[in-house]
Amino acid sequence: MQYLHDTFKENKTLIKLNLEENPGSYCATVSAAIQIYNDKTITKMDLHGKSIGGITMKFLTDALINNETIIDLDLSWNKIGIIGTKYLSDVLQTNQTLIKLDLSQNKIGDIGIKDLAGALKDNKVLTILELAYNKIRNNGAQYLNDALKENKTLIKLNLEGNPGSCCTTVSAAIQIRNDKALVTLDLSSNAIGDIGAQQLFNSLETNKTMRKLRLTGNRSKYCEAVGTAIGIRNDKTLTSIDLLWKEYGDNEIKLLANELYNNKTITELNLQENNISDIGIRYLADMLRNNETLTTLSLQSHQIGDIGAQHFAVALQNNKVTNFLSHLILTNLDCYTLDTQRIEPLQQQSIDQTTRSFEDER
C-alpha cells in the first residue's frame, strides 16, 4: 500500500482507486487519499467501519491538510486511537473547509482528546463534532471545555456514551452557547451534579433564547433549580411557579431570587415544604425590595426564625407597591412588623393585616 500511495501521490488524473475486499488495513485510507487529492467535486467522505488504525491515518491526513472540498468526514467505528487523533489534530489546525467530523467509537481517550482540543481552540469552521463512545473521562471533558470556551461556531459536540460525568454538561454548554436557534433542551436523568449544573448556568449567562431547560432527575437539586432559573429569565409567558416539596435549600433560593429580582411576569411563587433557612429568606427579602410583579408567595413549613421574619418586614416596609404580597401565606410562621426601635410579633397571620400595619406606620 505504501508503494501505491507513493506512486499515485503526484498523480492528478486518477480520481477513484477501488481497493475494497483487499486484506490490508491501509487500503481504505490509500484509496480515500487518492480521491481526496484528485476529485475536486467530492464533498463528503464516508469511511465508517473501515478498520482504519492510527498509523494508516497518515495517508488520509496528508491529503486532507490542504483540501478545500471535503466538508463532511465520517471516521466512526474505526481504531484511530491516540496516534490517529494526533494526525487529525494537525489537519484541524490548518484545514478551513471541514464542517462535520464523526469520530465516534475510536478509542481516543483523554490523551487523544487533549491533542484534539488543542487543535479545536482556534478552529473557526467545524460546526458538528461526534465523539460518542471514546472512553473520555472528566479530564478529557475538561480539555474540551477549556479549549472551546471562546469558540462560537461549534453547535453540536456529541459526547454520549463516555464515562466522564462532566461529558453531558460540557456538550450541553457548547450547544447552549452557540446554537442560537435552541429554545428547549432536555437533560433529565443524566447524573449531573453541582459542578456540572454551575457549568450549564455559566454557559447561559447571556442566553436570551433558551426558554425551557429540563434538568429533573439529576444528582443535584441545584441542577433542577438552574432549569427553573432559566425559565424565569427567558420564558416571558411564565406567570406561576410551583416548587412544592422540591427540597430546595438556601443555594437554590439564591439562584431563583437573583432571577426574580427584575422579573416582570411571575406573579405567583409556591415554595412550600422546602429547606429554606433565615439565609434563604434574606435572599428572598432582598429580591422583594425590588420586584414589583410578584403578588402571591407561599412559604409554609420552613424553619424561619426572628431574623428571617425581620428581613421580610424590612422588605415589605420599603416596598413601593401598595398591593404587594397581598396574599402572602405564612402558615406555621410568626409574622413581624418593623417598628423604628423594635420588632413586634403580630397575633394575626394575614399579610393583608401586616400590610395595613406598614401603611399605618408610614
Summarize the confidence of residues 135-140 as an average pLDDT: 97
**What CA–CA distances, in Å, run from 203 to 41, 101, 179, 213?**
39, 23, 12, 12
**CB-CB contact of 164 with 141 (8 Å):** yes
Does domain 239-362 match CATH 3.20.10.10? no
**What CA–CA distances, in Å, run from 108 to 53, 143, 289, 334?**
11, 13, 53, 60
**What CA–CA distances, in Å, run from 101 to 83, 84, 107, 154?**
17, 14, 16, 11
Higher pLDDT pick, 8 / 173: 173
Q: Is 148 helix (H, G, I), strand (E, B) or coil?
A: coil
C-alpha cell at 208: 436570551
**CB-CB contact of 103 with 129 (8 Å):** yes
**Domain boundaries along the sequence of the chain:** 239-362
- pLDDT band for position 12 (50/70/90)? low
Q: Nearest Cα to 138, choosing from 178, 104, 103, 168?
A: 168
CB half-sphere exposure, 21, CA atoms < 13 A: 1
Give residue-wise pLDDT tens across range 248-291.
999 999 999 999 999 999 999 999 889 998 899 899 999 998 99
**CB-CB contact of 223 with 196 (8 Å):** yes
Give residue-wise pLDDT tens across range 46-100.
999 998 999 989 989 999 998 999 999 999 999 999 999 999 999 999 999 999 9
Averaged pLDDT score across all residues of the chain: 83
* 19 pLDDT higher than 80: no
User: What is the reported pTM?
Assistant: 0.77
Question: Whole-angstrom Cα distance, residue 205 to residue 230?
Answer: 9
Lowest model confidence (mean pLDDT) among 16-20, 52-56, 117-121, 238-242? 16-20
